[in-house]
Structure 1
Amino acid sequence: MDLLSGQPHWFYKNGVLHAYPALTENLSAEIVIMGGGITGALLAWHLTQAGFPVVLLEKRHIGLGSTSGSTALLQYEIDTMLTDLINLVGEKDAVRSYLLCVEAIHKAREIVDSLQVKTSFSQVKSLYYASKKDDLPLLTKEYEARKRIGIDVEWWDQGTLRSHFPGIRKSGAILSHDAAQVDAYALAHALLQECIRKGARVYDTVEITDIRHERTGTSLVLDNGNVVKTKKLIVAAGYESQKLISRNFVRLHSSYAIVSKPMPDKKELWYENASLWESARPYLYLRTTEDNRVLIGGKDEMFQSAIKRDKLLPRKSVELEKNARSMFPDLPFVTDYTWCGTFAETKDGLPFIGGVKEHPNTLFALGFGGNGILFSIIAAGIITDLIAGKKNKDAAIFSFDRLGKS
């Protein structure tokens, strides 16, 4: 699948951080992770920390799938609002899903603090504003629901919003104190380097072309003819994982992003450099970067054709720059990098974590949606527990069983 086109900022910023070998022989492994993006890296880190020997296989170069195009906003907000999620999955699971995402932000902080290199991680606030006046009652209800379950939020009326963001002429917003941002590409490499130091084996530019389930495990046939035998396969192949499962469980769409040239050297480009997003669907979102750039994305289209997606990139980039200039007319926004990619969402906005009957000895970690990195942290914790034989009380919330028979 053609996941990404254009100039993803994180790769251009970092370049080739580390080289990994190709796999040129048969081998046996207790656990194999399929996918070397941020999800696979988080899984490898959790499992390695727990003492499990891990082999990771990536068909591209490490981090050069969707991870290099991630805008890496770490927001507890699921693409489905809490009030809507309660109606979809019930209050208990909806509330737990939101609280797990809040916990995952703080877990992300702990993880990056334990690493030996910087990954441009910073904790920030998040502002979720009403795109139009008609959205205000829903946003007010959402604020009350979040406040009721203990999430640290404030309500900003039109005057408060205008005083902090003069260019955002909207009627109200929810300010959240729990959010963060990171360089997902750098983080994936940092995690895998730590895993390698602890004995994990990481290979890239090697593709799994066939998965054969056998009585005692799974055999993975590689594009070079070699075979990897494993007791447990973990699929962390992101949006490409859909082709492995017979049931359609995601909607693929196209999204666009641009990054400005560095802004004048000042501590804040706007109020506490909070991440910003809106109630409209599809939504616009903005964040800053460590080197004083502005990243703005959105303008999604509900199709997955890479050809159609790429044709729209020049026009979408112009539109995104206009949006940024409109919201922050005092900032000298000049576009530096533009890219577009294929992304996925689920019906309820929640990830899929766990197994399906058609793939024995296999677990999936599919953290789709706008906060996929946090979902991946949750998935890594759940899957590590399952492999260790521990019961995880949250596993059922994200299982494929919620689709019905799987």
Structure 2
Amino acid sequence: MDLSSGYPFSLVKNGLPHVYPKLQQDIRTPVTVIGAGISGALTAYALVNAGLECTVVDARTVGLGSTCASTSLLQYEIDVPLTELTGKIGKAGAQRAYELCAASIGALEKICDKLDDSLFQSKESLLLASYKKDQPMLEAEFKARRATGLEVEWWDAATVKNNMGFTNPAAIWSATAAQTDAYMLSHALHQHNIRKGAKVYDRTLVKDIRFHKNGAELLTEGGPVIRTRHIVIATGYEALQYVPAKVVKLHSTYAVAGEHTENDTAWYRNCLIWETKDPYLYMRTTPDCRVIVGGRDEEYYNPQRRDKLLKLKTRQLQKDMQARFPDMDFQPEFAWTGTFGSTQDGLPYIGEYRKMPHTFFALGFGGNGITFSQIAAEIVCSLIQGKKHPDADLFSFDRFKG
């Protein structure tokens, strides 16, 4: 699947920081993780730290799927607001989903502290009411988050104007947020995992899976066979080859990174900015004094059509940025487009899928897929060890049945 194109900022900046071998011979391994992007890397990290031997394989060079195209925002907010999610799955489940996402940011910070603390920057997040009509919904959302125990503040129009310099009817200020570099974090995780005994192979396409009573055989393109007891599918949107397409709807999204500036403060506390309209616009800064703006999503997956729109979307995102911050000289330097998916309730799919024995899925769909990937890593690791996880049902493939 063609997942991204253009010039993703992290890939241009960092190139290929590490080289991984291609699988050349048959192997045996207790756990095989298919997908070496951020989801697979975090899952393998959880496994090796639990003392489980594992092997990671990827059809591409490590990180060159959706991971390198990620804008790497870390938020507890999912694409479906807490109030709306409550209506879909109930109050307890909705609150738990938001609590898990908030906790996962802290877990990611601890991981980065061990690997490379420069990969994690704590931030705050600002959710803007795009229109006056959105204000009642946002007020209800604010009350629901506060009741859940999340640290939030209500900003009226005057506060937004005073702090940000532009006009919006209202906003929710959240104290819990962060940003990372998903591409470089994936490599850092793999390097740690390799030191702990894991094997990582890229350019190794699994073309067929043959299940047996006590495990499976993975047939790779070129001949080598992987014999394994457990499989973890962490291939993101490419996992649709294994599960019904109806579980996720694919979209095309766009992002632009501006030129480096000498100003290390772009706006109030360099918070993450996003809004209530759908599709929403979002903005973040980088440690090297750039601004990344993304959005202008299209509701389809068509690589040719998606790529053809990149120049137009770049101009539109530049105008969006200038409309918010007219005094800022925002000049796009790198632009890219990618694929992401949304689910019925905004939650990912994690755990077992009944049609595939010995197999677990770690699919962090949505706008905050990295936090979902961390949740998936913890759940899948527990399930592989034969333990029940109290939150597994919240993200199961069967959650819409009955």
Equivalent of residue 333 in structure 1, options 330, 335, 352: 330
Are residues 1:348 and 2:355 paired?
no
Distance 2:318 2:125 in 1: 21
Q: Which amino acid is 2:257 matched to?
A: V
Deviation at residue 389 of structure 1 after TM alignment:
1.9
Give the equivalent residue in structure 2 for 1:265.
263
Distance 2:113 2:119 in 1: 11
Alignment check: 8 A CA contact 2:102 2:176 kept:
yes
Equivalent of residue 210 in structure 1, options 208, 211, 228: 208
Matching of residues 2-401 of structure 1 within 5 Å: 2-115=2-115, 117-167=116-166, 169-246=167-244, 248-266=246-264, 268-401=265-398
Residue-by-residue CA offset, 1:175-205 (whole Å, 9 max, x unaligned) = 0000000011000000000000010000000
Distance 2:146 2:389 in 1: 27
Distance 1:200 1:330 in 2: 50
Distance 2:301 2:383 in 1: 33
Deviation at residue 358 of structure 1 after TM alignment:
1.0
Of the structure 1 ranges 256-265 and 198-207, higher mean CA displacement relative to structure 2 is found in 256-265
Alignment check: 8 A CA contact 2:112 2:119 kept:
no
Alignment check: 8 A CA contact 1:119 1:183 kept:
no
In the alignment, structure 1 segments of 5+ residues that lack a partner are none
Distance 2:51 2:262 in 1: 46
Distance 1:59 1:253 in 2: 22
Distance 1:295 1:363 in 2: 34
CA spacing shift, 1:323–1:76, aligned 2, 3 Å: same
- The share of aligned pairs that are identical, in percent, is 45
SS of residue in 2 equivalent to 1:147: helix
The two structures have a TM-score, normalised by structure 1, of: 0.98
Deviation at residue 35 of structure 1 after TM alignment:
0.0
Distance 2:244 2:131 in 1: 40
Deviation at residue 137 of structure 1 after TM alignment:
0.4
Distance 1:149 1:121 in 2: 25
Distance 1:197 1:366 in 2: 25
Distance 2:206 2:120 in 1: 32
Deviation at residue 247 of structure 1 after TM alignment:
5.3
Q: Which amino acid is 1:18 matched to?
A: H
SS of residue in 2 equivalent to 1:401: coil
Deviation at residue 265 of structure 1 after TM alignment:
3.4
Q: Which amino acid is 1:284 matched to?
A: L
Q: Which amino acid is 2:306 matched to?
A: R
Distance 1:347 1:175 in 2: 26
Deviation at residue 225 of structure 1 after TM alignment:
1.2
Distance 1:212 1:247 in 2: 21
Distance 1:353 1:245 in 2: 12
Distance 1:118 1:9 in 2: 20
Deviation at residue 118 of structure 1 after TM alignment:
4.8
What is the number of equivalent residue pairs in this alignment? 402
Q: Which amino acid is 2:204 matched to?
A: V
Distance 2:9 2:276 in 1: 26
Distance 1:101 1:355 in 2: 21
Q: Which amino acid is 1:143 matched to?
A: F
SS of residue in 2 equivalent to 1:104: helix
Q: Which amino acid is 2:379 matched to?
A: I
Alignment check: 8 A CA contact 2:271 2:284 kept:
yes
Deviation at residue 403 of structure 1 after TM alignment:
3.2
The root-mean-square deviation of aligned C-alpha atoms, in Å, is 1.0
Residue-by-residue CA offset, 1:69-104 (whole Å, 9 max, x unaligned) = 001100000100000000001111100000000100
Residue-by-residue CA offset, 1:41-85 (whole Å, 9 max, x unaligned) = 000111111100010001101111000000110000010000000
Deviation at residue 308 of structure 1 after TM alignment:
0.7
> Displaced runs of 4+ in structure 1, greater than 4 A?
none
SS of residue in 1 equivalent to 2:357: coil
Distance 2:122 2:254 in 1: 24
Distance 1:403 1:211 in 2: 27
Alignment check: 8 A CA contact 2:247 2:343 kept:
yes
Alignment check: 8 A CA contact 1:119 1:187 kept:
no
The two structures have a TM-score, normalised by structure 2, of: 0.99
CA spacing shift, 1:251–1:166, aligned 2, 3 Å: same
Residue-by-residue CA offset, 1:223-245 (whole Å, 9 max, x unaligned) = 01111010000000000001111
Of the structure 1 ranges 393-402 and 239-248, higher mean CA displacement relative to structure 2 is found in 239-248
SS of residue in 2 equivalent to 1:224: coil
SS of residue in 2 equivalent to 1:202: strand
In the alignment, structure 2 segments of 5+ residues that lack a partner are none
Alignment check: 8 A CA contact 1:263 1:332 kept:
no
SS of residue in 2 equivalent to 1:380: helix
